[in-house]
Amino acid sequence: MKQIQGDDDAQLAAMGHKAELNRNFSMLSMLGLAFAILNSWTALSASLNLSLPSGGPVSVVWGLVTAGICNLSIAASLAEFLSAYPTAGGQYHWVAVSWENWIPILSWVTGWVNVSGWLALTATGGLLGSNLIIGIISLLHPFLLYIAYNIAGFFVNAFMNSALPLATKGAFIWSLTGFVVISITVLACASPNYSSGKFVFGDFINQTGWPDGLSWLLGLLQGGLGLTGFDGVAHMIEEIPNPSIVGPRIMIGCVVIGISTGFIFLVVLLFVAGDIDLVISSTATPLLQIFKNATNSNAGSICLLMFPLVCILFATITIMTTSSRMIYAFARDGGLPASPFFSTIHPKLKVPLNGLYLTNFLVIVFGCIFLGSSSAFNAIISSSVVMLDISYGIPIAVNCLRGRNMLPERPFVLPSALGWIANIIALSYISLTTVLFLFPPGIPVTGSSMNYCVAAFGIIFIVSALQWVFDGRKNFTGPRFDENVLAEIDGRSTYSLEQQTEQAVSHSK
């Protein structure tokens, strides 16, 4: 169903909000933003230290396949919600399919978990970038680089908002170019000294101390990181035309591209990895060590590393963009402390500047707390993946409990059987990994090596619970819908499927 001119803002008004953000993203620029957030091949290769000791190549390759199927199921499940309710609030707005008395509390919990997940995901950009640079410049403290990445993201978001669509297109092109250039270069330089197919697809390594099966499951965290954040398009949906049609395509498309490029790139890296024990123990990070083993050149390795480093900078910028929109959207409905302050759009910059301030401040505080731990890498990444997955799972679970028949008429609809299969796979994966990713990465566990993701959950629970008691339970009603207006918009559709496709394609140019 194609919405006619002006219906985008009318549809948003029917969900209780005035259009304040410019719809200056095309389909291609939004796809670039979504893919930059996933940052799949870069994030997967930069986080090899998560899975190589926890299953080795078997965990790297088949863990991604497993996480890919499950995350694609989640994305397809959420795409139905996005098509029905294209609002920046995303998941906390979508739980309105719940029972009326439960809507406020479920929306509150989902919103807090989602905001926290995006803040944690923002932190991973600086974390991955600083780790890679430290592999080159070991004398520089990683925390300084962590801050530098996030401050750069803030300035681009605050003062270059009009150029963001161009930047996200550039990010998409840069990422795919880097993927091709690095793959060809390392394969050519390593020839003919490749690892065997048996090693790449079947070698198992366990240096965690956990039993083999549990170790492999913990290695899923790498694949989970490389494919999480696809709901970014939902939180940016108020800045794109034809959101009910284009949004679901982007949400599913970016996951498919991420799985494809990630799988190919990881297989290439394993074929040219060389001494795997040296790769796992390398202080220069596994990715840089693989480049060194393949090219036998320090200069060449550092040049190749420039591609993922720039990709991670793009990811930091786009994740921060999305995080600030999520804060703005949740505050707009009164879900945060000082909501009127954080729901303000700067009149000249046309961005939620206060939301950007909050994002940058909390991410830096987050880094101060976690970077003192030897397992900070796992803790920050676990926090982002687990929190976002929980926010995905709540609306899907509610929809299933209500028979998958609570969503209104919409352009994107999964066939009944496929919808149930996707929902069940999604909920099973989320339930399993929510528990697994709270485990420490290895045993024996010490005070500095435990997984402090649990502590992050405790802090969020206490703050959100106090806010609910003193404010939310009295003033927060959850998302608001005018189904009559939405139905009227649905009824004014005058476009065929071919015209919808032609219109959506024209917006991407």
CA 387-37-342 angle, to 5 degrees, is: 65
How much is the average pLDDT of 190-205? 92
- What phi, psi does 229 have (nearest 5°)? 95, 5
How large is the angle between the packed helices 56-84 and 220-227, nearest 10 degrees? Answer: 30
**Residue 64: predicted pLDDT:** 93
Answer yes or no: is pLDDT of 140 > 50. Answer: no
Answer yes or no: is pLDDT of 163 > 90. Answer: no
Instruction: State the DSSP H helix or E strand holding residue 369, giving kind and residue range, or none if neither.
Output: helix 353-370
Is residue 502 situated within a structural domain? no
SS (H, E, C) 99-123: CHHHHHHHHHHHHHHHHHHHHHHHH
**Residue 209: predicted pLDDT:** 87
**Residue 355: predicted pLDDT:** 92
Count CB neighbours of 308 within 10 A. Answer: 26
Is residue 103 situated within a structural domain? yes
Answer yes or no: is pLDDT of 500 > 50. Answer: no
Among 12-26, 143-157, 183-197, 338-352, which stretch is predicted with the lowest mean pLDDT? 12-26
Q: Which of 463, 47, 57 is nearest to 270 (CA)?
A: 57
Higher pLDDT pick, 454 / 387: 387
Rounded CA-CA distance 293/296 in Å is 5
CA atoms within a 13 Å half-sphere pointing along the CA-CB vector of 500: 16
Report yes or no: 24 and 163 within 8 Å, Cβ to Cβ.
Answer: no
How much is the average pLDDT of 185-196? 92
Is residue 262 situated within a structural domain? yes
Each residue's pLDDT tens digit, 374-396: 566 677 788 888 999 999 999 99
Rounded CA-CA distance 352/356 in Å is 6
Is residue 36 situated within a structural domain? yes
Global pTM value:
0.84
**Residue 143: predicted pLDDT:** 65
Is residue 496 situated within a structural domain? no
Q: Which amino acid is at 218?
A: L
**Residue 495: predicted pLDDT:** 39
**Residue 439: predicted pLDDT:** 87
How large is the angle between the packed helices 142-159 and 103-134, nearest 10 degrees? Answer: 120
Each residue's pLDDT tens digit, 306-348: 899 888 888 888 889 899 999 998 998 888 988 899 989 998 8
Is residue 18 situated within a structural domain? no
The whole domain housing 54 covers 23-477
The CA–CA distances, whole Å, from 51 to 292, 426, 438 equal: 20, 22, 15
Is residue 505 situated within a structural domain? no
Rounded CA-CA distance 149/313 in Å is 7
CA dihedral of 442, 443, 448, 450, whole degrees rounded to 10? 70
**Residue 263: predicted pLDDT:** 94
Among 114-118, 182-186, 378-382, which stretch is predicted with the lowest mean pLDDT? 378-382
Residues whose CB falls within 8 Å of the CB of residue 60, separated by 6 or more in sequence, listed in order: 48, 51, 52, 219, 222, 266, 270
Higher pLDDT pick, 116 / 128: 116
CATH number at residue 71: 1.20.1740.10
Is residue 503 situated within a structural domain? no
State the total domains in the chain. 1
Rounded CA-CA distance 2/45 in Å is 39
Confidence of residue 501 (pLDDT cuts 50, 70, 90): very low
Each residue's pLDDT tens digit, 165-175: 888 899 899 99
How much is the average pLDDT of 460-477? 88
Structure tokens at 278: 């040296």
Instruction: State the DSSP H helix or E strand holding residue 312, giving kind and residue range, or none if neither.
Output: helix 298-332
Among 80-84, 189-193, 439-443, which stretch is predicted with the lowest mean pLDDT? 439-443
3-state secondary structure (DSSP) of residue 299: helix
